[in-house]
Amino acid sequence: MVRLRLEDIEFKQEGFELNIPFLEARPGEFLTLLGPSGCGKTTTLRIIAGFEKADRGRIYFDDIVMNEVPPYERNIGIVFQDYALFPHMTVCDNISFGLKLRKLSKEEIKKRISWALKLVGLEGFENRYPEQLSGGQQQRVALARALVIEPRLLLLDEPLSNLDAKIRERLRGEIKRIQRELGITTIYVTHDQEEAMAISDMIAVMSIGKIEQVGSPLDLYYSPKNEFVAQFLGLSNILEANAENGKACIGNLCFEVKKEGRVKIFFRPESVYIKKGDDGEVVDYELLPGRVRLKIDVDGEIIIAERFLDEIPFLIEKLPKKVGIKVKSFSILESFP
Amino acid sequence: MGMRLKNLIVLLPLIFLFLFFYFPLISILKEGLWNNGITLKYILQVVSNNYHRRIIFFTFWQALASTLFTLLLGLPGAYIFAKYDFPGKGILKALLTVPFVMPSIMVALGFIILFGRSGILAHLIGRDPGILYSWKAIILAHVFYNFPVVVRMVSSLWQRINPHYEEAALSLGARGFALFRKVTLPMLMPAIFASSMLTFVFCFLSFSIPLILGGYQYATIEVDIFTAIMTLLDFKTGAALAIIQISLSFVFMYLYLKSLDLYVKAEEQRIFKKPLPLTLRELLSVNGVFIAAYSAMVFIFILSPLMAVVYHSFTYGGGFTLEWYRRVFSPEYNPIFGANSITAIRNSLFFGFSTVLISTLLALSIAYIMYRWEFKGKNLFDALVMLPLASSAITLGLGYIKAFHKPPLNLLGTWYLIVFAHTIIAYPFVLRAISTVLKKIKPGLKEAAMSLGANELKAFLKVELPLAFGGIVVGAIFAFAMSIAELGATYMIYKPEYTTITIAIYRFLGSRQFGPASAMSVILMMVSTIAFILIERTGEEIW
């Protein structure tokens, strides 16, 4: 188990600049880099792996600076987006590739291969070639190949993005299980917020070239620091209002913000409860499986509410024009300069 | 990989190219543009001379005409190959690989036997067909060499055109020829243009074919340089002609490479429409007849010059003989080329294998640098290693004569200078074969190997090299085929003891001994056939 730390990382490439003042993954932690495409999350991963060189800054594994250590001496396991299985080698040869380079004894290699195959549930596939496997199976082989060398750090670069939705959900559960079982420090790159929430201990949300916020999934979801993080993690309501005497109001709806002046109030649709009343006008609604999403106009601002069907005090066919609203929890966003 | 090793890998190919391409090139420039200061005198002399001007004009004209006829013969083939699966397609496809490996001097000999005044065709129609020693023979031979390229490139792109485009056009009311002209043809243009440019450059720099089939009247610039130097010993005129030729071929080669980029981009499209198996009904319809006729014509066109050579090698005065082979394999000294034939065969094989070794190593390191490494001045590196593609065999020969006839590099007459000349001529083609496979290998594989503990060298040896093997083999065979087929440059720098098979054939032709020339050609053909079979065996798509 290793502690990974990035300090003052600066990386420049034509038209792109990456800056990471500080990022840490504690020993055994599952840290996800989440962000839109082109934000630099894969570049960050490649800097950690040693495939890209940062112009400035330091990469630590525990307390050792790794900047000048070539990738093949870092003892890392990587799973690439396209798996990068060697097409001219069987499953067995792919998995034993790193072991042979480490000059392990034949018996040891055999033992470890069967351990790895069992770990990913691919016993009996030893002599297949990659092209004879399904996408999900290839992904498992890639994972086994990365883990069999007992790496200090596991790096996963969008490992599920080429798979069908169903297999994706199953495999992410397995990745999580294996990571827990081995207790290996893991950096995971994805652009899929649902995947990130489901799998991570910690998430670092990135916008173009920088990290916006690091925190646990729940932390980020309910208390994002700014609008970017809030909107990247799901549907959000963001209202701007003027606060007086620690209170900001929009129509009948008031928030105890304990601040003065202009504020940005944030809450998720599921924090909005519906009751009988006349706080806002229902503009539109959408039926989702078992739920309903309402758009409610409150004093000119649109608020989105999401509730289970049996939680609202009306029949959905007989929705009144006006409804009452209660926002159970909210947070205040950083104002942009 | 250590920085020093990396530097060495970048520097070695450059040093080789500087010594054996750029230094001779500079020698030519000096010869043609220098007389106590820069002068255009020699160039102007050439351009104002009626004879040379006519040759330059003819070189253009025949290249253009050859390209047109090549398209005319190649495009129907491309259509058939892209659209249909039919019995015998595999054989036809293999047959189209044959010209890639058959030396032009041998094909020229085949043409002489077929179309000569007392040749096979003259026997059949009872008079001289009037093809030989004219532009007709030159163009016919150029078409022989180039139409397979058109078939290959255009059909490959044709198969990748998304059928939705044609279906959309059909739904909008386009049909028949209008559909082809407005929708299909524009999408085929990159392939047509690239294959045309390749054909044009080939014909523009053609040497053996016009030398042997053109007679006195029809020469290309390449032949003109050769005559100026080897017969008239007029180096100034030769160099001036070479400079004109290099400048022009440089422009054409640039256009070709640009068009190739467009073609490769267009070909990257994923959609690949499988050709339809021809049904029995279609087989008996117009389509079937068309395909059968085209196949038959390709068979005759490609095989008849080769068969003519084989036939002739066993014939004397209308009867069967083994005399020519007895002569070829006799250990006697042959005054026609100043060595015995066994030596010539041995030399050809030796030069061939040496060329394979050096050009493959050279091309492999260059390809790897081009597609895997980034460093300052890489654009310059790319340009420096591609430029030799624009030079020709005769220009190279001239450069070698000027550059290596005096110390410090007094190399003229050595066997290795011949090998280096062959290497310079062959490696751009090896480079292309290797680049094609190397580009297909995902860079992620190397990184995966490195993350598992392999350093760059090991990752290359264990992962990339095995995956590139097919392309390397094809490249090596190209190099071999080009080396044993090479005539012009070798002829200019060899000594009698280094006589090759092609030089022997050329000498036999010069003294009008077609029998021994044929027997020698058959030996050359057998070597080329082995090369051909190896290419077929690798299954690598040179097609």
At B127, phi and psi to the nearest 5? -155, 170
Closest CA in chain A for residue B465: A88
Q: How far is it, in rounded angstroms, from Cα B116 to Cα B494?
A: 30
Q: How far is it, in rounded angstroms, from Cα A153 to Cα B193?
A: 51
Closest CA in chain A for residue B447: A51
Provide the pLDDT confidence category of residue A337 given band limits of 50, 70 and 90. very low
User: CA torsion sign, B318 to B320 to B321 to B324?
Assistant: positive
DSSP one-letter string for B451-479: HTT--HHHHIIIIIHHHHHHHHHHHHHHH
B316, containing H or E segment: strand B315-316
Letter string b/e over residues A237-268, b meaning 16 or more CB atoms within 10 A of that residue's CB: bebebebeeeebebeebebebeeeeebbbbbb
Per residue in B144-175, pLDDT (tens digit) is 999 999 999 999 899 888 777 877 887 887 77
Radius of gyration of chain A (CA): 24
Number of Cβ within 10 Å of residue B36's Cβ equals 5
Lowest mean pLDDT of A60-64, A182-186, B240-244, B527-531, name the range: B527-531
Q: Within the 391-450 window of chain B, which residues sit less than 8 Å (CB to CB) from chain A?
A: 442, 444-445, 447-450
- Asked if A70's CB is within 8 angstroms of B452's CB, the reply is no
- Asked if B453's CB is within 8 angstroms of A101's CB, the reply is yes
Provide the pLDDT confidence category of residue B354 given band limits of 50, 70 and 90. very high
- Asked if A87's CB is within 8 angstroms of B452's CB, the reply is no
The pLDDT of residue B1: 54
Number of Cβ within 10 Å of residue B234's Cβ equals 14
CB of B225 closer than 8 Å to CB of B241 = yes
- Asked if A78's CB is within 8 angstroms of B451's CB, the reply is yes
Provide the pLDDT confidence category of residue A41 given band limits of 50, 70 and 90. very high
Rounded mean pLDDT of B89-117?
90
CB of A149 closer than 8 Å to CB of A109 = no
Residues of B in contact with A86 (CB under 8 A): 445, 448-449, 463, 467
ipTM above 0.95, yes or no: no
Mutating which of B451, B460, B467 best tests the A interface, going by the most A Cβ atoms within 10 A? B451
Residue listed under structure tokens 């082809």: B180
The pLDDT of residue B406: 87
Going by the DSSP 8-state scheme, the letter that residue B391 receives in this structure is -
Cis peptide leading into residue B76 (ω within 30°): no
Among the partner residues A86, A98, A145, nearest to B463 by beta-carbon distance: A86
Provide the pLDDT confidence category of residue B327 given band limits of 50, 70 and 90. confident
CB of A184 closer than 8 Å to CB of A151 = yes
Rounded mean pLDDT of B217-230?
94
Per residue in A14-37, pLDDT (tens digit) is 889 999 999 999 999 999 999 999
Whether the pLDDT of residue B3 is over 80: the answer is no
Cβ neighbours of residue B262 under 8 Å, at least 6 residues apart? Answer: B190, B193, B194
Cβ-count burial of B49 within 10 angstroms (0-12 exposed, 13-18 middle, 19+ buried)? middle
Provide the pLDDT confidence category of residue A175 given band limits of 50, 70 and 90. very high
The pLDDT of residue B202: 93
| Amino acid letter, residue B514 | F
Lowest mean pLDDT of B84-98, B196-210, B262-276, B286-300, name the range: B262-276
Among the partner residues B442, B454, B455, nearest to A82 by beta-carbon distance: B442
User: Which two three-digit tokens encode residue B441?
Assistant: 């290998």
Strands B319-320 and A16-25: unpaired
Provide the pLDDT confidence category of residue B2 given band limits of 50, 70 and 90. low
- Asked if A49's CB is within 8 angstroms of B452's CB, the reply is no
Considering chain B, what percentage of its residues have pLDDT values greater than 70?
98
Provide the pLDDT confidence category of residue A75 given band limits of 50, 70 and 90. very high
Q: What is residue B84's three-state secondary structure?
A: strand
Q: How far is it, in rounded angstroms, from Cα B481 to Cα B502?
A: 12
Distance of CA A17 to the CA centre of its chain: 21
Q: How far is it, in rounded angstroms, from Cα B330 to Cα B322?
A: 12
Per residue in B492-534, pLDDT (tens digit) is 999 999 999 999 999 999 888 899 999 999 999 998 888 888 8
The pLDDT of residue B542: 53
Whether the pLDDT of residue A272 is over 50: the answer is yes
Residue listed under structure tokens 């066994």: B342
The pLDDT of residue B543: 44
| Amino acid letter, residue B318 | G
Alpha helix (H) ranges present in B214-285?
221-230, 235-267, 280-283
User: Which two three-digit tokens encode residue B401?
Assistant: 């004569």
At A207, phi and psi to the nearest 5? -110, -175
DSSP one-letter string for B90-135: HHHHHHTTHHHHS-HHHHHHHHHHHHSTTSHHHHHHSS--S-TTSH
**Nearest in space to A184 (alpha carbons), one of A18, A31, A5, A12:** A31
- Asked if B451's CB is within 8 angstroms of A49's CB, the reply is yes
Provide the pLDDT confidence category of residue B541 given band limits of 50, 70 and 90. low
Count CA atoms closer than 13 A to A31's CA, side-chain side: 26
Rounded mean pLDDT of A116-120?
92
B380, containing H or E segment: helix B378-386
The pLDDT of residue A334: 82
CA angle in degrees (0–180, nearest 5) for B281-B284-B289 = 140
pTM (predicted TM-score): 0.84
The pLDDT of residue B72: 96
At B426, phi and psi to the nearest 5? -90, -30
The pLDDT of residue B282: 76
User: Which two three-digit tokens encode residue A15?
Assistant: 């038209």
Q: What is residue B168's three-state secondary structure?
A: helix
The pLDDT of residue B531: 84
Q: Within the 90-119 window of chain A, which residues sit less than 8 Å (CB to CB) from chain B?
A: 97-98, 101-102
- Asked if A88's CB is within 8 angstroms of B451's CB, the reply is no
User: What does pLDDT average to over chain B?
Assistant: 90
Residues of A in contact with B449 (CB under 8 A): 86, 97
Distance of CA B405 to the CA centre of its chain: 28
At B348, phi and psi to the nearest 5? -55, -45
Residues of B in contact with A149 (CB under 8 A): 452-453
Q: What is residue B396's three-state secondary structure?
A: helix
Whether the pLDDT of residue A264 is over 50: the answer is yes
Considering chain B, what percentage of its residues have pLDDT values greater than 90?
60
Letter string b/e over residues B152-183, b meaning 16 or more CB atoms within 10 A of that residue's CB: bbbbbbbbbbeeeebeebeeeebeeeebbeeb
Letter string b/e over residues B123-133, b meaning 16 or more CB atoms within 10 A of that residue's CB: eeeeeebebbb
The pLDDT of residue A336: 55
- Asked if B452's CB is within 8 angstroms of A82's CB, the reply is no
User: Which two three-digit tokens encode residue A182?
Assistant: 């081995």
Q: How far is it, in rounded angstroms, from Cα B342 to Cα B126?
A: 39
Q: Which of B283-292, B342-351, B531-540 has the highest mean pLDDT?
A: B342-351
Rounded mean pLDDT of A144-152?
93
Q: What is residue B335's three-state secondary structure?
A: coil
Q: Does A75 touch chain B (CB under 8 A)?
A: yes
Rounded mean pLDDT of A181-205?
95
Residues of A in contact with B447 (CB under 8 A): 49, 51, 71, 78, 80, 84
Cβ neighbours of residue B519 under 8 Å, at least 6 residues apart? Answer: B313, B324, B325, B327, B328
Lowest mean pLDDT of A194-203, A320-329, B29-38, B174-183, name the range: B174-183
Instruction: Give the 3-state DSSP-derived string for chain A, with helices as H, strands as E and coil as C.
Output: CCCEEEEEEEEEECCEEEEEEEEEECCCCEEEEECCCCCCHHHHHHHHHCCCCCCEEEEEECCEECCCCCHHHCCEEEECCCCCCCCCCCHHHHHHHHHHHCCCCHHHHHHHHHHHHHHHCCCCCCCCCHHHCCHHHHHHHHHHHHHCCCCCEEEEECCCCCCCHHHHHHHHHHHHHHHHHHCCEEEEEECCHHHHHHHCCEEEEEECCEEEEEECHHHHHHCCCCHHHHHHCCCCEEEEEEEECCEEEECCEEEECCCCEEEEEEECHHHEEEEEEEEEEEEEEEEECCEEEEEEEECCEEEEEEEEHHHCCCCHHHCCCEEEEEECCCEEECCCC
Whether the pLDDT of residue B268 is over 80: the answer is no
Lowest mean pLDDT of A257-261, A284-288, B25-29, B465-469, name the range: A257-261
At A254, phi and psi to the nearest 5? -120, 145
Provide the pLDDT confidence category of residue B402 given band limits of 50, 70 and 90. very high
Per residue in A208-241, pLDDT (tens digit) is 999 999 999 999 999 999 999 999 998 999 998 8
Q: How far is it, in rounded angstroms, from Cα B498 to Cα B501?
A: 10
Q: How far is it, in rounded angstroms, from Cα B12 to Cα A262?
A: 68
Provide the pLDDT confidence category of residue B269 given band limits of 50, 70 and 90. low
**Nearest in space to B400 (alpha carbons), one of B502, B506, B486, B488:** B488
User: Which two three-digit tokens encode residue A35?
Assistant: 């962000």
Q: Within the 263-322 window of chain A, which residues sit less than 8 Å (CB to CB) from chain B?
A: none
Distance of CA A212 to the CA centre of its chain: 13
Q: How far is CA B276 from CA B80, B81, B159, B175, in A?
A: 10, 10, 11, 20
Q: What is residue B252's three-state secondary structure?
A: helix
Residues of B in contact with A85 (CB under 8 A): 448
Among the partner residues A75, A80, A102, nearest to B448 by beta-carbon distance: A80
Lowest mean pLDDT of B38-42, B327-331, B349-353, name the range: B327-331
Quote the minimal CA–CA distance from A84 to chain B in Å: 5
- Asked if B450's CB is within 8 angstroms of A80's CB, the reply is no
Going by the DSSP 8-state scheme, the letter that residue B375 receives in this structure is -
**Nearest in space to A136 (alpha carbons), one of A104, A175, A101, A178:** A175
The pLDDT of residue B379: 85
Residue listed under structure tokens 């160039």: B43
